[in-house]
Structure 1
Amino acid sequence: MDQAIEATEELPTSAENTSHAHKNETNHESVVDLPQHATDEENDHLQLRCSEMFQKMSLYLNGEVENTIQDYILLENMNKATTVRYDEMHHTARTVGNSLHEINQKFSDLQPYLEQIETIEQSILTLEQAAYKLDAYSKRLEERFKRAQKLAQ
């Protein structure tokens, strides 16, 4: 904004109006010549518009920076929540792993007993079949005895 004020303070004379830009030989800066018909009122209006533009651009850029900051805050919160969730899942997985190890250990401890139960079950099945055969044989024997008694009478 200060440059705009400097440009209006260094208005060219009528002899310099024919060129659009010239070098100031004393300080070697570029100076833009304003047309002669630009009045102080127009310059003030132009300065006001430039000031409004810079204010609005500043407001816009501040909003963009604030949005970016909010995005980073949101990402940070999401990362923290994800970290907590993964910690919970890790704890759960560790608990499940420990429980599985305990169950496998108990199964190993019970394995001899389970084998004994399996052996006993096989023995019971064999004994049951023998009992059915014995029952069938005793029924046939009883039938024979009854026939022998009938013949003896």
Structure 2
Amino acid sequence: MAEKGESSTSENRLKSLNSETSTENGAQLEYLSYDLVDKLSKYAIEHLQGTMEEYNLLENMNLAIAQKYEEMGHVTEKVKCSLETYNAQMTSIRPHLEKIQEIHKRTCELEEIAYKLDSYVKLLELTFKNWRKDE
């Protein structure tokens, strides 16, 4: 009987140990589960916040680029108006520029004739001086 008593006591101890261990394991498992859920939710929230920040950055960049394009459109319109004005002015002064070019061309021709005439006069003077010496 002693053996039976000892075996039942050790069985009781094992059962008691198992129930304590299972209670501890259950509590630890529950704690770890809550901790896992908490950390996963924090990760998901941070990930979503990062995504939202990236989205906001892209949206701000898009707005800035749209504003720059609008400004460039205004600048382009001003340049277009200026070019149209300059083209109109150029068209109006073109006949005068052509006259100036013609005058320049004729002036160059007159200079050439004047140099030739000067050379001819010098030659005549030399010839006249030589003729006078001979007389």
TM-score by length of 1: 0.69
Q: Which position in structure 1 is the counterpart of 2:50?
A: 67
1:89 aligns with 2:72: yes
Matched, 1:105 2:88: yes
Rounded to whole Å, the distance in 1 between the matches of 2:37 and 2:44 is: 10
Unaligned runs of 5+ in 1: 1-35
Partner of 2:134: 151
CA–CA separation in structure 2 for the residues paired with 1:52 and 1:133:
110
Quote how far apart the aligned CAs of 1:93 are: 2.3
Q: Identical aligned pairs, as a percentage?
A: 35
1 or 2 for the larger relative contact order (CA 8 Å, sep ≥6)? 1
1:43 corresponds to which of 23, 26, 32: 26
Q: 1:118: how far off?
A: 0.8
User: Is 1:129 matched up with 2:112?
Assistant: yes
Matched to 1:122, the amino acid is K
Distance in 2, Cα, partners of 1:68 & 1:55: 20
Note the C-alpha offset of 1:134: 1.1
Confirm whether residue 119 of structure 1 aligns to residue 105 of structure 2. no
Once the two structures are TM-superposed, the CA of residue 143 in structure 1 deviates from its matched residue by 1.3
RMSD: 2.0
Alpha-carbon distance between aligned partners in 2 of 1:93 and 1:113, rounded to the nearest angstrom = 30
TM-score normalised by structure 2 residue count: 0.77
Between Structure 1 and Structure 2, which shows a larger proportion of helix residues?
2
Within the candidate set 14, 19, 36, 1:53 is matched to: 36
Question: Number of residues paired by the alignment?
Answer: 118
Q: Tell me which stretches of 4 or more aligned residues in structure 1 moved more than 4 Å.
A: none
Shift of 1:53: 0.9
Q: Gaps spanning 5+ residues in structure 2: where?
A: 1-18
Q: Deviations over 1:7-53 (max 9, x none)?
A: xxxxxxxxxxxxxxxxxxxxxxxxxxxxx897333222221111111
In the other structure, the counterpart of 2:7 is: none
